[in-house]
Amino acid sequence: MTLLINPRSAKHNRRIPLSLLTVGAGLEDRHEYEIIDENFETDIDSLLDNLISAKHVKYVGLTVMPGPQLVRAIAISKRLKRNYPSLSIIWGGTFPGIHTTTVLASGYVDIVVLGQGEVILPLLIDALESGAPLQSVRGIAFNDKREPMYSQKQEWRRPDLHPPLPYHKVNIYRYLQRTYLGNRTSAYHSSLGCPFKCGFCSVVSIFEGLWLAQSAERVAREIELVHKRFGVDSIEFFDDNFFTSEKRVAEFSERIRSLDMAWWGEGRSDTILQYSDSTLRSMRDAGCKMIFTGAETGSMETLQLMNKGGTQSPEVIIGFAQRIKEYGIVPEFSFVFGSPSEDIDGDIERDIQFIKRIKRVNPSSEIIFYVYAPVLLSGAAIFEEAKKFGFDYPKTLDEWSEQKWQNLDLRKKPMIPWIKPRHVSKIRNFERRINAQFPSLSDLRLTEPRRKFLKILSNWRYDNDFYAAPYEIRFFLSKVFNYRQPEIEGAAQYPVT
């Protein structure tokens, strides 16, 4: 028996664990397994102890993202290894995919799966069951005489060949939540990777410019299935770059038009700006409500340092804000403040003015604020710059658990040497100001009178570029209205695309 664990990653915002459902799809009919989502468990230790004593559990797989989920994955794995040394502890997901040797050096993770769990895990379990050498299983890393060993790479499999998701393994209804998109929002992942190679993006570390997608026909079929079977009325597409192929998006939109669904996805503004009017119309008519897109910065020079690629430029971002407004689709622009630079103060001020320009062009644009967190990408100019400033990653998992590294992962309170507390204050104060002036649509609790009140409260600051000490805004936003930041609770949160 294999246990697949989703360590706690969110208090309220519990998303359907697509990673483990996809891995589970590969185990169906081959190996017995269960999915455990710690987001719903109050005492996972007792639950695991009971399962391990009642069933013949030999393998425990954990999916691991950096941040709070990593901290929980460490605690769970450490305890299991200590109490049940013969269990094989297997990690998968982006974090172990990038920081593989650090994970293996911990001593409590036996094997890291590098790539598609649905392809690799069944082969790994076969090998462990038969006693075949681990080296013969493609796509893994493991310790051999305390040294990390990598097997040969496993080819990526086209996601059209994925077996269907085993929804019966989870209680899908507890994941359906009310969002800006609808009353029963679920999620789907329809493509792997991204064809671009931005220097700050973890997708590049894993996929190296590869993009493989399910056909429009298959995606539409899967969406129809959850709509009809579970009453799902809206979907968040968790693809890193859903909009890479205009042809696929146009065909998908045509196919789901009659379902009356609402949906959200992540894409590049330069790509979508090149779409034809008819594709944008089809998207709108098929329920596309919001597009998350990485604006990153208002500086062409910084975009180049970031290796943003394509035809991305500040003018393209403004053009996208303008054009998408005509279709009633809300753009969410994420900004990465604090790229390495000799003039961080000047850069922050420039980006603030750029955001105000976006808001003038399209006031309904949502703005997501992140602070640059280096991603391990050797050779990427921005990462090499960060290293020059003295940045380095932790060398042990215990160090990764420290609060300061979680702050870095969450891209809110950085600890990178060139960003000083005054920079963070300036960014946060402006963020509060903009949240008051233009409260996020994704906060469903903010009534219209409250939105109006916040706007009046913040008008003079916004108009006069006065951001310092916004105590009154802070008080009303967080203490009185308990404001929900879009990147924490809403439809979107990723510094990608």
Give the one entry of ligand B12, ligand SF4, none that residue 489 binds, where binding means its C-beta sits below a cut-off of 5 to 8 angstroms depending on kind: none
CB of 427 or CB of 496, closer to ligand SF4: 496
| One-letter amino acid of 479 | K
Task: Select from 18, 75, 127, 361 the one that contacts ligand B12 (CB under 6 A).
Answer: 18
411 scored as a contact of ligand B12 (CB under 6 A) = yes
Q: How far is the CB of 294 from ligand SF4 (least distance, A)?
A: 5
The Cα–Cα gap between 278 and 382 comes to: 38
**Segment (H or E) for 103:** helix 100-105
Burial of 61 (0-12, 13-18, 19+ CB in 10 A): buried
Q: What tokens does 307 get? A: 């290796």
Q: Tokens 């004593």, residue? A: 53
- Let me know: does 246 contact 274? Beta carbons within 8 Å: yes
406-415 long-range contacts, CB within 8 A, separation 24+: 406/67, 406/68, 406/70, 406/71, 408/373, 409/66, 409/67, 409/70, 409/373, 410/67, 411/370, 411/371, 411/372, 411/373, 411/495, 412/370, 412/371, 413/371, 414/338, 414/371, 414/372, 414/373
Task: Select from 63, 77, 177, 341 the one that contacts ligand B12 (CB under 6 A).
Answer: 63
The Cα–Cα gap between 438 and 361 comes to: 14
185 scored as a contact of ligand B12 (CB under 6 A) = no
Task: Select from 3, 44, 52, 66 the one that contacts ligand B12 (CB under 6 A).
Answer: 66
Give the one entry of ligand B12, ligand SF4, none that residue 10 binds, where binding means its C-beta sits below a cut-off of 5 to 8 angstroms depending on kind: ligand B12
61 scored as a contact of ligand B12 (CB under 6 A) = yes
Q: What tokens does 28 get? A: 């169906």
Give the one entry of ligand SF4, ligand B12, none that residue 92 binds, where binding means its C-beta sits below a cut-off of 5 to 8 angstroms depending on kind: ligand B12
Q: What tokens does 430 get? A: 């402006």
The Cα–Cα gap between 68 and 75 comes to: 11
69 scored as a contact of ligand B12 (CB under 6 A) = yes
113 scored as a contact of ligand B12 (CB under 6 A) = yes
17 scored as a contact of ligand B12 (CB under 6 A) = yes
134 scored as a contact of ligand B12 (CB under 6 A) = no
Residue 268 has a CB neighbour count (10 Å cut-off) of 27
222 scored as a contact of ligand B12 (CB under 6 A) = no
CB of 239 or CB of 251, closer to ligand SF4: 239
Q: Tokens 């009185």, residue? A: 480
374 scored as a contact of ligand B12 (CB under 6 A) = no
22 scored as a contact of ligand B12 (CB under 6 A) = yes
Q: Which residues in this chain contact ligand SF4 in the complex, by CB under 6 A?
A: 194, 196-198, 201, 203-204, 240-241, 268, 294, 496-497
298 scored as a contact of ligand B12 (CB under 6 A) = no
The phi and psi torsions of 83 (rounded to 5 degrees) equal: -85, -25
Q: How far is the CB of 206 from ligand SF4 (least distance, A)?
A: 10
Sole window of 9-17, 81-89, 317-325, 420-428 interacting with ligand B12 (rule: CB under 6 A)? 9-17
Sole window of 224-232, 343-351, 390-398, 403-411 interacting with ligand B12 (rule: CB under 6 A)? 403-411
CB of 196 or CB of 238, closer to ligand SF4: 196
Minimal CB distance residue for ligand B12: 92
The Cα–Cα gap between 376 and 92 comes to: 17
Instruction: Point out which residues bind ligand B12 (CB under 6 A).
Output: 4, 6, 9-10, 13, 15, 17-19, 22-23, 61-63, 65-69, 90, 92-95, 98, 113, 116-118, 121, 189, 202-203, 238-240, 409-411, 493-496
